[in-house]
Structure 1
C-alpha cells in the first residue's frame, strides 16, 4: 500500500492532462508533488525539483512523443530506477517507449481510460479510501467517463475485504442467503456492467472521432496553463523554461519582457582601498599653462587667420606658439623671390619682435614696409609671380647672397596682412 508522495515527471506540453490528474489524485487523498502546483514563489526551481524527487516514494512518468525526447524527464526516470523507487508509466499517446521502461506495467490512456485508471490504481498501490474516491475525482476532471449507478471505484486487481467475503461466503452466510437473493444480486451486477460497458463504448467513439488537431489544442491549453501559473512569479528560470517548452509560445513578447525585468544586477565587489591622498595645489606655472591650453583650444575651435595671428602675437612664451605659427604659414599660399640691394635695405620689418637692422633671417615672420615685385627665381630677369603690399605678412624661407646684394625667398599672400 502506497502512502508516500507521488512525483510527476512529464513534458510541459502535456501539462493539461498532468495538472488534472494530479488534482484528481490529490482530491482523492493521495500525496502528490507537481512542480507547477507545489514550487513556492521565490524558490529555486531546479533545487525544489531535486529535493522533491529525492523525498518521493513513487515516480509517475507521463509518456508522450515530447517527454521521451526530454533529457530532464529521462534523467528523473534514471534517478528513480537507480534509487529503487516505484516507477509507474502512463502512456498518454503512441510513442517510442524507452527500453528501460518497457518491462514495467503501464497505464494505457490512449484507449479505454477507465480501464487505464484501474491499472494505475493497482500500479500505484493506493490506499482503499483513495482508490474508492479516485473514479469520482477523475470523472470531475474529465479524465474518464463517470459511470452511472455506481458508488465508488472498485479495483479489479486489489479487492476489498468485503468483496472477498462476498466471493467466499462463510457457512453462516450460506445458511442465511437464499437462491432468490443470489439471483437478484447477479441481475443487478450484470445490469451495472452493461451500463458501464455502454459508457466506455460511447467514450471510445468520441475519442476516435476527435478532430485531427486535438494535440495542437492540448498543446495550446498547456501553454496557456503554464503561462497563468508563472506570469506573476519572479524567478527568471520559470520563464526560460516556458520558452524552451513551447516553441510557438503565444506569450513570447510578454515572457521576454518579464525576463528583461528579472535580469540580475551584477554584484559589485567592495574592495577596501586606502583613501587617496589629496592632490597638491597646482603651482602658478601649472595654472598659467592650463589657461594657455584653454585659450589655444578656443583658437583652434574658431579656426580663423586673425585668431591664430593674435595668439602668435600675444603669447610669445607659450608652448602652443609653434602650433599657431604652423597654422599661419598655411595661409601664405604663394612663394617667390624679392631683391635686396644691400643689407641696409629696409623692405621688411620683423613682425611681432623688435625691429632689426640688416638682412632678414630665415624662418621668421616679417611685415612688408612697402609694395614690392615678387619674381619666380633669384635672377633679375625671372618672371614676375606677384607682389606684396604694405603690411603684408611674409615668412622668410631662404637668404641667397649675390655679390653685395641678396635675393630673399619668401612665402606670402596678397590677402593676409598684419594690422
Structure 2
C-alpha cells in the first residue's frame, strides 16, 4: 500500500470533522493517551493571548538556542508551507517527520473524529515525544481553556494581552474573553501577564483566584536601550513580548537571560517584515484592533527610517474580524487603500471591505482587486518607489504576498 505524502495527508485530515473549529478537549485527550504523549521529561511553556503570541514564541526559541537548549515550537497558522507550524531548533520539521506523526495518529485515533487543528496539535506532540527536546513552546490557537494545546501541563504559562478578537467563539466582552484565556493557567504554576489591564481582568475571575498571575517586570535601562535600538531589534518587537519570553525562560530554567544578546537572534516572519527594499514592502498579519494600533506605531518609525512619502495599504481579512476598528486604528498611517479577495469562504470580499471602509467616512482613495498580486501590480504601476507598500491582514494575505515575491525573484 502506497504511503500518503504530506499534501495528501493534509487533504485527508481536513475531511475528518464537519466543523472547522470545535472547541473541547475530550477527543484530543483520548487520542493523546493512546499515543502516550503525556510522558515527557522536557519543559513546556504555553503561550496565549490576543496579540504578541508569535513574537513571544520567537523570543523563547532564540533564547533556548543561545542557552544551548533543544527547542520545539508549535504555532499557527502558517504563511506559506505547513511545515512552518512545527520547528525544531529553529528549522521547520521535514515532510517525513510530519507524515510519520500523522500515520501514528491515524493508527491511534480509531473512530475518534478530530478537527484539523487537533490533528496538527497531536502531530506536534508526537514529534515532541519522539525527539524529547529540552523545551516545547506551544502557542494557543484560539482562546485557551478549551484549546487543543491545553491538554499539556506547562512549567510556565504566558498570557500576552487580552483584547477583543474571535468574539463568536470566546465571548463579546473582555471579561468573558479573559475567562477563556485564563484556562491555560495552573493553580501551582506561574502565569506571566504582559500588561496591567489584562492582569486586572484576570484577577476579577472567581474561578481562577488560586492562579499565580504575575505581571512582567519593567525593562532595565540596559534592556530598554536594546529594545529601542532598531539595529538590535529589527522587527521592532514590543518590550512586553520580549520580556514575557525572557521571564518565562528564566522561570522554567532558573536563569537570567541578557535581552541584548537575544534580540539579534530572533527570527519572525509576517510581523512588520520588510520583504523588499525598492520600493519598501512590509507585510504584517495584524488582523485585530490591538494589533493594528501597534502596527500603526511601527509604521510611523519605519516610514521615517526609509524616508517614504506615504504608505499604500493592501488588505485582505476574514469576515468575522473587527474590520472597522482595524481600519480606524490604521487610518492615520495610510494614504491609500487597496482591498483584495481571498480564496476561502470565511474571508470578506474586497467589495465587503470597501463597504466597511466607505462607512467610516475616510478621505483616502480606495480600490478593490481580485488578488494580492493584482493589487500589488496596480500599486507598483501607479506609484513610484518613494511610496511604502503595506500588505496586511489575514495570514493568507501575507502568505500570498510572500509567495508572489519569491516567484518574482
Please report the TM-score for the alignment, with normalisation by the length of structure 2: 0.30
Q: Which has the larger radius of gyration?
A: 1
* Larger RCO: 1 or 2 (CA < 8 Å, sep 6+): 2
